Chains A and B, each alone.
Chain A
């Protein structure tokens, strides 16, 4: 247990440090970071003034050390446009993104998993074929297009739901559906494979031979055993939902982190962009770690292999 855990924790820590350095140096490799932040046509004087104000005229390693110290204290710097701490701006937008991703996750799990189980248990049912079509299509749908289609159908033509913004409770429905489609397809596919694998095992045949009806075998035995891959995929899908939100929020004018990122790029407010990407990377590393630990907690074979 402990060897695997420590190895995995060290790995995650290295990744965290690496990502921070990557993003820090990316910005400097591409040229003068100050030029990213000033409006086009700024005078040399104001560029120089901003450079020394932001400390970009000091050696890179000093800047990096300061940057890292700041991050440890959850200080992401100040927004250049609004001149308030980036952490405050991000914190004000974060709940919206979390709400959107949470609703999408519930939708994806709630529809995807039962669909996958059905497709495995009733393999040749016409609905299962339809389901496979959905799985295939769901993985190829660009969210910015399905989002526009959803707006066109449910907001413009039918007028059932608001097309954008977050003013009403029902505003979350369309963006959440849009965001959930890809994960829904993934859950359906993973659940189908997991259940199919289990159905082929001897204990299922034994239970059936004993006279247990198929439905009962599935609900009492198969579902529990096939839950492992679904749970670990769920951790990874949360990361996908959060990064997928960038585009979905832009389509639906949802006031979360994704919209903030795109607005900040347009406004050349680079510290905000940097903070959001870092946050996304941290969450993704953390969830990957969680998925691995969860997996090893349930399945001892992985733990042994990792400890070698």
Chain B
């Protein structure tokens, strides 16, 4: 039991795994575990240091410029970060994988067009492409997901394309085509299960990047709009009070850093396992 567990996840990774689990739990249970409503303002309790008590309300991590409880805002902010990242990874993953498989299956003109578009989208620095798309679409939670999905699908398409090409001439695929299986059936039943490993590697490596992008866009005022608590937006507001209330900018950054670090470390591990290095 323990040996299997250790092989699946070596002990040095447990702290990182624990951080991700904790943040996911915080996001799921936010309304029940946050000590206060994240949007309730209290003008008497503005910019209070961590641990201050104002009229029977204790601000464990301090309060922000409108007297909102920072801890509660951070807990609700975990929802935004994780939801945006998860949604954009799912959308870009599904779209990219499908297009990559289609490009490999049909090759010819269809394949060439898809893979050229992949090259083109990937040749624009991702953050610039995200910024110009969000400037066109306008900010907002679902627009951010759309933008991130649009910016990142080529990563999956490239991997799916290469992997699918390598499978197309294997006997079992040719046999299933010969037996009359339809294109969608061959792609989904026979090819997808065999390329899902490398795709999952991209998913885990992209997840941290999506968290970072969402926070970055929100920091620039192009992401999730106030009063919805997003770590990037809280950080951005805290920047104006950095001399008087350092905690507003510091704590959301700590969470962002821990989340991205943990996801990246776990992602590296997934890659090593899938590529059979361990």
Contacts and interface: CB of A to CB of B under 8 A. Distances in A.
A142 interface: yes
Nearest to A284: B125
B123 A140 contact: no
A19 B220 contact: no
A276 B246 CA distance: 33
B236 A244 contact: no
B132 interface: yes
A156 interface: yes
Contacts of A281: 123-125, 128
Interface stretch (A23-31, A57-65, A107-115, A292-300): A23-31
Contacts of A141: 257
Contact of A247 (B133, B220, B246): B220
A288 interface: yes
B257 A140 contact: yes
Interface string A226-249: 000000000000011011101100
Contact of A136 (B221, B249, B256, B265): B265
A144 interface: yes
Question: Which secondary structure dominates where chain A touches chain B?
Answer: helix
B82 interface: no
Interface residues of B, number: 44
Contacts of A284: 123-125
A247 B136 contact: no
Interface in A263-304: 265-266, 270, 273-274, 276-277, 280-281, 284-285, 288
A139 B264 contact: yes
B239 A148 contact: yes
Interface stretch (B2-10, B33-41, B113-121, B172-180): B113-121
A277 B243 CA distance: 34
A280 B126 CA distance: 10
Given A18-B117, A284-B123, A265 B222 contact: yes
Contact of B261 (A140, A247, A274, A288): A140
B96 interface: no
Contacts of A276: 128
Contact of A148 (B125, B131, B242, B264): B242
Contact of B135 (A146, A151, A270): A270
Interface band, chain A = 35 or more
A160 interface: no
A14 B125 CA distance: 17
B116 A14 contact: yes
A140 B129 contact: no
A140 B220 contact: no
Interface in B219-278: 219-222, 232, 235-236, 238-239, 242-243, 246, 249-250, 252-253, 256-257, 260-261, 264-265
B250 to A, nearest CB: 7
B120 A152 contact: no
A13 B163 CA distance: 27
Contact of B124 (A136, A140, A149, A277): A277
A183 interface: no
Given A151-B242, A277-B128, A142 B119 contact: no
Interface of B: 116-117, 119-121, 123-129, 131-133, 135-137, 208, 212, 215-216, 219-222, 232, 235-236, 238-239, 242-243, 246, 249-250, 252-253, 256-257, 260-261, 264-265
The 10 A-B residue pairs with the shortest CB-CB distance, nearest first, are A145-B253, A18-B120, A243-B125, A140-B261, A140-B260, A30-B136, A281-B124, A280-B128, A265-B135, A277-B132
23 contacts: A14-B120, A18-B123, A19-B123, A22-B120, A30-B137, A136-B264, A140-B261, A142-B212, A142-B216, A142-B219, A142-B256, A142-B257, A145-B252, A145-B253, A146-B253, A148-B250, A152-B249, A243-B126, A247-B219, A265-B135, A273-B131, A281-B123, A285-B123
